[in-house]
Amino acid sequence: MNEIFEDPIIVEVGEILPKIVDYLQDREIDGYNDTHFLRLKQSIQERGVSEPIILARLGNDKFELIAGRRRIRTIKEINASQKKKILTLPVRILKEDVSYYDRYLIAYESNKLVKSLSDQAQIESISYMISSIIYPDVFEKYIVDKKKINRVLDILKKDVTDMLLYEKCQQQNKEYAGPLLPSETVEQKLSRLTKLKETINEVANRLKVEPDKLISLINLQQLNEYQKRLLSENIFSTDELKKVSVKRFRKELFDISNVLQKGLLKKQENYDMVVEILRSYNKKLSDFYNIKNIETFSDENAKEWNSKFAEELKNGKLGIAYMIKDKIFEAIEAHKRQKEQSPKVVARQQIKAFLKRANEEQLKRVLELIAEVEDDNE
| Model pLDDT, residue 109 | 86
pLDDT at 227 > cutoff 70: no
Weakest-pLDDT range from 89-103, 104-118, 257-271 = 104-118
- pLDDT for 278-294, tens place per residue? 999 999 999 999 998 99
How far apart are the C-alpha atoms of 190 and 15, rounded to whole Å?
A: 48
pLDDT at 232 > cutoff 70: no
Nearest partner of 288 among 261, 254, 265, 257, judged by Cα: 265
Find all residues with CB under 8 Å of 262, minimum gap 6, and list them. Answer: 269, 270, 273, 274
| Model pLDDT, residue 2 | 57
| Model pLDDT, residue 30 | 56
| Model pLDDT, residue 366 | 82
Residue 222 pLDDT class (50, 70, 90 cuts): low
**pTM, 2 dp:** 0.61
Weakest-pLDDT range from 26-30, 275-279, 295-299, 344-348 = 26-30
| Model pLDDT, residue 199 | 95
The answer to whether the beta carbons of residues 263 and 311 sit under 8 Å apart is no
- 3-class secondary structure, 321: helix
How far apart are the C-alpha atoms of 112 and 119, rounded to whole Å?
A: 10
CATH number of the 1-117 domain: 3.90.1530.10
Weakest-pLDDT range from 8-12, 33-37, 52-56, 346-350 = 33-37
In Å, how far are 169, 187, 190, 204, 271 from 163, measured between CA atoms? 10, 13, 8, 16, 47
Number of H helices, E strands in the chain: 17, 5
How large is the average pLDDT for residues 75-95? 90
DSSP string, 102-171: HHHHHHHHHHHT-TTS-HHHHHHHHHHHHHHHHSHHHHHHHTT-HHHHHHHHHHHHHHHHHHHHHHHHHH
- 3-class secondary structure, 275: helix
CA-CA-CA-CA torsion for 300, 303, 304, 309, nearest 10 degrees?
150
- For the chain, the domains span 1-117, 135-223, 228-339, 343-377
pLDDT over 70, % of the chain: 88
| Model pLDDT, residue 355 | 83
